[in-house]
Structure 1
């Protein structure tokens, strides 16, 4: 020894390192929680984008090429077969049109430009040519539509004959004399065309035949790829069409192609319909994040504008041709509207569901930070007593929080990027940065000067802090205002915006949860104090002591209550919302299909119905026929012109249980009195007695927005077939039928047998519609999100309860050490811990269960869920008692597990160590 004391400078970093090394587990758990939250906040939006992109691709891909492609048509006059260069050689007159179409595509903004593929085009004569094929063909007539396609040679292969020759002199090449007389006037030689080999075989036309006046068959073709979507734009291009006439027989529908350089001229100037279309690649929407609403706006703007493909005066156009201005149309806009509604509903529901785990995670983070400070109370108090300022201590724990949070948040973000690789967005790192500083902020906020001193914090319905009253009143006012604004949208006309997340719908459930916690914790001390007074008079120590400790030394206060409330709420709300969407989709499927089996396509006459009724498993068949004319319906002083629909009497049985489709009321099938009529669609006439065209007196007995299983016109009226025919009217033949199956019969098997019997037509079942719904990416993603949110909330709830138990572990250990010394049994020790947590948890469970049922009720009335169900009407709230009971049981078991773990930890008290520490109060 030198006599001099060894001195060592104690730095803040060294102090923090020693504090962390002395008790690392809580801090490490806090960092793990931060990493998990960062991973989820990065991964969930990426997964949602992927789900919505795949759903958009599926919905767009389900459309036919005719429906989804952006198609432009315009009429023009073609004066000569082809343009000639200075040397008299034919030039490609299509190139100017292709250049103009590509220019129009390049003028479109992204992402529309990338979604539209290079244009394809063809032309066809507006007037078809009727001719009579050879008698061997058995066709009484053939209708030939003449097409011109610049890329014909790339699309088809020559089967017989040769490619059509281009006539450069208006049809005089190869001119012939009439009747073979050399002195007679010459007539133009026929224009050469080629047709489908199947059409030539069925019509018995051969190469060299003049298949129609002015048309000579030069060859036959076969499509290289019959499944190419391009052929959907060409009627009868891959298969000869047949039209049946009940009086005359069958007529052939044939497509004939000119030479590819010919734009549609048969000699004299011809009236031609030009058509170009931009194919839409359904798979392209998954390659990048496409904003559906932005795409819809861009597409609408393109359809509304005029686009000059080729300007008047261009050398390829004759003097009779002006600006080539196509009128663009597509059915893609309706699909985009449906997808946009679906995405908005999905985003809003996920925001509501995600608020639960995030709220619980925030609560657990706050509790974890308080636990870190609580376990270091003695060291921090000593540091404060030796001259450190509160600000220095806050900076110390904040730096430690950053050291924990930043690496954990970055790691979680990187893991999410590796798991879901896609283009990063700037705000993802902003969210990660916010998550990274949360532990630092929570630790700094938990370090209160007064918290370093041991004092009681008795629960009371009254508070000495006026700021608590201000905050609580603000929460209650905001929750009431948000609920009022959300439920009153329709009456005020301020519905949610068409883009993004419905922030009001997402924030309202969280505000309601906070308000419920505020009210519950204000009222909670009153029954707890009464329970304490009742238990005081009993001989058992454990219940009274547990209730008294819950009242005089509560651990956590609002935070653990909020965690349990949110966990219970999200679990129940997820189950109820998922049930509501599923039941709504089932009702929409029944409404869309109309019956267990729907048939459309063939002529559904009486013999057709008899054929269906002979199928094993078919119970009833009903048809709804369109009269094809409009009749005036007069009710009172109001009049409307309606399309008349006529329904079979069996419609009542077909739409009966188990069908969930909404059909006419029972009074519609009355056999006596005025003829019952049901109005539909856009009709606004009231119910009551009226007059319908030549039918006379009728009675309007109801109104339907749509008729199950049918595409109805804008305004219509429905009457029963027997009442219509009783008035001496005739019923037209329909093209669709609804089929109800026997109880216990398999609709899929019945549908398959019907397909085999009728041969032609489209047969669909309700189950097919439901299978399409359940297999949709958005349905799978939403189900996983609901289940995942419930499980994550439950896990975090257990963690919050355990953290609350650990916060009071020190004081409880000292008390239990004394009581165990005085004879308290280990079983009573665990019961005491359960009594401390029990009242708060029971209250939180009750509040959470009530909120879990109330929040879906609010959301169903405020959020448009039709995009998820695929129906035309908002689904009704569906509460399945079995599902709700199972979820509640799972939540209760989860809380019991947390209490059991807490009680087990409390039972591991080291009596000797706690007694040596001594009483600090």
Structure 2
């Protein structure tokens, strides 16, 4: 047959099919690429945000005998080359080349006490392979070769070292000063220079904080802090440095290039780290001092994969629904084209055409529309950045294959016998017992799956097939229930309208109730479309509200200013006078002694009533001001409950009485031991925290109190929402919601067109009997709207129920500031807009249909003998 001629004849149906296929192939090919690209961006951002000491790979060994000591740079370099040589294939692309990035080698001692300090001062020896590239000498000079000196009758080595400049005053050190280190195997250091880091913000220094800053440690049971610093020595010092009598470790840092990380390769990287750690132990020359791998990368990957699993689950749920609905709408368009071809192909079949010829003609004509559209959608998806997943190739192929396959199968089934006649007077066929049993089984299994999904323990990592199948089963069950049950309320309405005098309601509802299953099935595409779009809207709204709640719980106020030292009264006044500030609530926080022992707790002294006024309109609230009693009333955490009245040490001894229990203090404490006191309970409050309400500029507030760190609820919320993974989830949900709403509207329009011929014939008969145009429009609306309304209600109900049905299987806390998303409150605007849009399109379609039918003469619709 002449395919080109048929294409021109049915250009309208071909155009609809082309447009639907193009949009479907573009969405199913582009969205997975965008999703995977955002997954990669999220992983790279998490690796960049993590400290380098956590993200990088560090090989370390602590020698225990002289044969294991390394005394020259070449020994370090040889081992560095060996570590890179045995890297598993999954890790090699991630590790930066030697000598670049933060890669370096080091030797350090730990807990090396200074003689005469009573164990309060520790100066450790350190060596960095790239010291010259990392520091600038601001005083003195760079260290040189070590010397010797006499100490307690023995000759001990003297290392020339440099110290970070801040440690010179902090630890009371001076240039050319000599300090003796150790407890038995003594060495000495001579401080010959002070340095500063060339770039203190470089990730490199995450591995060497002990060199760049003085560490203060409070040993258990002591009141004074220990001070620790690691010095720097030159290469010649390695020849003298040994492990005898000291805690010495050698380290090789292999930095990770975050830009080359891939979410798809994350599980392989995790396995590669385990394999690398195993290979390192095989390189050890002593079981007492094995080579070990130190890294927090597995924890970072585990956290990311946990969030990724949830994102993938939600994404595949909505994308699967989108694909199913898109294919369903395309099938409707194919059915529209097949109906247009019905007369032509019936004539061909009657004239001796084979069934293969008829089916092949329909498939070829469909392919003319869908194959170019599929290729165009697939090509346009290449403009979207992101890795190419198998679904990118398979999705468009599946859409095109379903369209062509349905066209061939539908025409082959319709024209299996020549001159086929279809009975128009048969209203419904009674379903067989097998079919009823199968449908009941589907409904029971769907409900059982939803119950098990909520009650079972979800501990597996990766995509959960059970989690993906249950929503599909629930959608299929809802469709079956809607399909079987919708005629019954309509038949009840038919009985009620049959008692009235108006014929239009009776005729319209009767035609709706007697619609055959084949006529009803196209409209049921609306059910998954509405269910998935409402589900996406509910999840998106739930994430948005929980994100806002998380930002308020993180900060505890519109703006919070915290300082490690007391904020002076004049600085507080400057904050009050800052433009945009409406209210300021001062507070003091600190760590207090509970009782008279070593027990400690966190405490905050604040005016709770003023703080509550400051939070007016926020989604968080504070407990009521504690009532007075025998002592200062205090709210305590659950860990401190049941103690009645007790004393705390905070500036002075304060006797507090438990006036209530509070689980969290927003912005400050969420667990552990803590208590809340009135600010006036302190003899002289040393304010170190300011809670600010208003729209003030954070930079102006920071200028008013230079020692304070300024955090705003708005900035925290922006940080949560700007996370690539979170942004992708919400963007994809929005795109899918809009796309499904569009497909639902198209499904309504196509279903109207599919039944146009039958409806036109019925209206022609009724017009011959005196039906007016107004009555014709009402009759058409009453025929169409019931099924759309029933399907819309079922779809909305299923979409609202899906988040609760999925239960703990979908943990969205990773996208909401680590707060569980449990309150799925839907804005009424979404279901109202969807239902109103579908109803409006159906009504407009009905009016358009009657307007078109009115222009057609009865002779064009009725045949000779139809009225006799």
TM-score range, shorter chain: 0.7 to 0.9
Match of 1:397 in 2: 362
Residue 49 of structure 1, CA deviation: 0.5
**Unpaired runs of at least 5, structure 2:** 181-187, 649-653
> 1:162-204: CA deviations, max 9, x gaps?
543224xxx34xx7x99xxxxx999668432334567779999
> 1:461-485: CA deviations, max 9, x gaps?
x724445424422331232122112
> 1:791-849: CA deviations, max 9, x gaps?
21122122112211222222233343454566544444433332221111122222222
1:497 to 451, 455, 460: 460
Match of 2:185 in 1: none
Residue 768 of structure 1, CA deviation: 1.7
Assess if the C-alpha contact under 8 Å between 1:556 and 1:804 holds in 2: no
Match of 2:133 in 1: 154
Residue 869 of structure 1, CA deviation: 1.1
- When residues 284 and 572 of structure 1 are mapped into structure 2, their CA distance, relative to the original with a 3 A threshold, is same
Match of 1:848 in 2: 795
Q: 2:691 aligned with 1:740, yes or no?
A: yes
Q: 2:91 aligned with 1:107, yes or no?
A: no
Residue 871 of structure 1, CA deviation: 1.9
Secondary structure at the residue paired with 1:257? coil
Q: 2:430 aligned with 1:483, yes or no?
A: no
Assess if the C-alpha contact under 8 Å between 2:554 and 2:668 holds in 1: yes
Alignment of 1:405-484 (within 5 A): 405-416=370-381, 418-420=382-384, 423-426=387-390, 428-447=392-411, 448-449=413-414, 452-456=420-424, 463-466=430-433, 468-484=435-451
Q: 2:283 aligned with 1:283, yes or no?
A: no
2:310 to 340, 345, 349: 345
Secondary structure at the residue paired with 1:367? helix
Assess if the C-alpha contact under 8 Å between 1:591 and 1:708 holds in 2: yes
> 1:248-302: CA deviations, max 9, x gaps?
99999865321134338469955424343332333332xx443444444544665
Q: Tell me the distance in 1 between the aligned counterparts of 2:250 and 2:865.
A: 95
Match of 1:258 in 2: 233
Q: 2:79 aligned with 1:122, yes or no?
A: no
- When residues 586 and 825 of structure 1 are mapped into structure 2, their CA distance, relative to the original with a 3 A threshold, is same
- When residues 651 and 111 of structure 1 are mapped into structure 2, their CA distance, relative to the original with a 3 A threshold, is farther
Q: 2:179 aligned with 1:233, yes or no?
A: no
Q: 2:366 aligned with 1:366, yes or no?
A: no
More displaced 10-residue stretch of structure 1: 572-581 or 395-404: 395-404
1:775 to 706, 709, 722: 722
RMSD: 4.7
1:328 to 294, 301, 308: 294
Q: Tell me the distance in 1 between the aligned counterparts of 2:656 and 2:113.
A: 48
State the aligned residue count. Answer: 832
- When residues 871 and 798 of structure 1 are mapped into structure 2, their CA distance, relative to the original with a 3 A threshold, is same
Match of 1:830 in 2: 777
Match of 2:490 in 1: 528
- When residues 679 and 343 of structure 1 are mapped into structure 2, their CA distance, relative to the original with a 3 A threshold, is same
The two structures have a TM-score, normalised by structure 1, of 0.77
Q: Tell me the distance in 1 between the aligned counterparts of 2:171 and 2:637.
A: 48
Q: Tell me the distance in 2 between the aligned counterparts of 1:811 and 1:555.
A: 15
- When residues 295 and 678 of structure 1 are mapped into structure 2, their CA distance, relative to the original with a 3 A threshold, is farther
Secondary structure at the residue paired with 2:105? strand
Q: Tell me the distance in 1 between the aligned counterparts of 2:738 and 2:64.
A: 68
Q: Tell me the distance in 2 between the aligned counterparts of 1:813 and 1:253.
A: 92
Q: 2:37 aligned with 1:69, yes or no?
A: no
Match of 1:307 in 2: 280
Residue 457 of structure 1, CA deviation: 6.5
> 1:300-336: CA deviations, max 9, x gaps?
6656x583597449xxxxxxx9645235142x44443
- When residues 562 and 674 of structure 1 are mapped into structure 2, their CA distance, relative to the original with a 3 A threshold, is farther
Assess if the C-alpha contact under 8 Å between 1:649 and 1:720 holds in 2: yes
Q: Tell me the distance in 2 between the aligned counterparts of 1:697 and 1:801.
A: 69
Residue 456 of structure 1, CA deviation: 2.7
Secondary structure at the residue paired with 1:114? coil
**Unpaired runs of at least 5, structure 1:** 1-13, 85-89, 134-140, 179-183, 314-320, 633-640
Q: 2:774 aligned with 1:787, yes or no?
A: no
Secondary structure at the residue paired with 1:262? helix
Q: Tell me the distance in 2 between the aligned counterparts of 1:890 and 1:446.
A: 31
